[in-house]
Amino acid sequence: MSPHPRLSAIRNQLHQNPPARVVLALGELFPLDEKQLREQWRELVAGTPLADLALTVRILPAQQQCMVCFLKYHPQKKETACPQCGSVGAKILSGEELYLESF
Ligand SMILES: [Zn+2]
């Protein structure tokens, strides 16, 4: 499995001047969960100066808004059905992020 392009971009950004620690913000709805993210990171940085970096992952909760009744809710287990009206037409407000939070 090839690493996610956004993770590769973060690696490239840190490569020039490797910090001792970083915090990555990871949205709940991002295609990788924390375990997969850490596995891909390990493969990406193996044998490089970034291999010793302390990686902290902060999970960002997801929020969706129903397009029918406009309820804002936290999707359970990536389910998209609205808990109030059952509609599946929801807009994702947050939870798809992956970014470097601090270093
Ligand atoms: Zn609804």
User: 98 CA distance to ligand 1 centroid (A)?
Assistant: 27
- The pTM assigned to this predicted structure is 0.85
User: Count of alpha carbons within 13 Å of 24, Cβ hemisphere only?
Assistant: 26
pLDDT band at 103 (very low <50, low <70, confident <90, very high): confident
Encoded tokens for 26: 């990871």
Distance 18 CA to ligand 1 centre (A): 46
64 Cα to the center of ligand 1, angstroms: 10
Ligand 1 center from residue 93 Cα (angstroms): 15
Q: Rounded to the nearest whole angstrom, what is the distance from the C-alpha of residue 52 to the centroid of ligand 1?
A: 46
pLDDT digit string, tens, across residues 48-96:
999 999 999 999 999 999 999 999 999 987 777 999 999 999 999 999 9
Q: For the domain bounded by 5-102, which CATH number is listed?
A: 3.30.2320
Per domain, the residue ranges of the chain are: 5-102
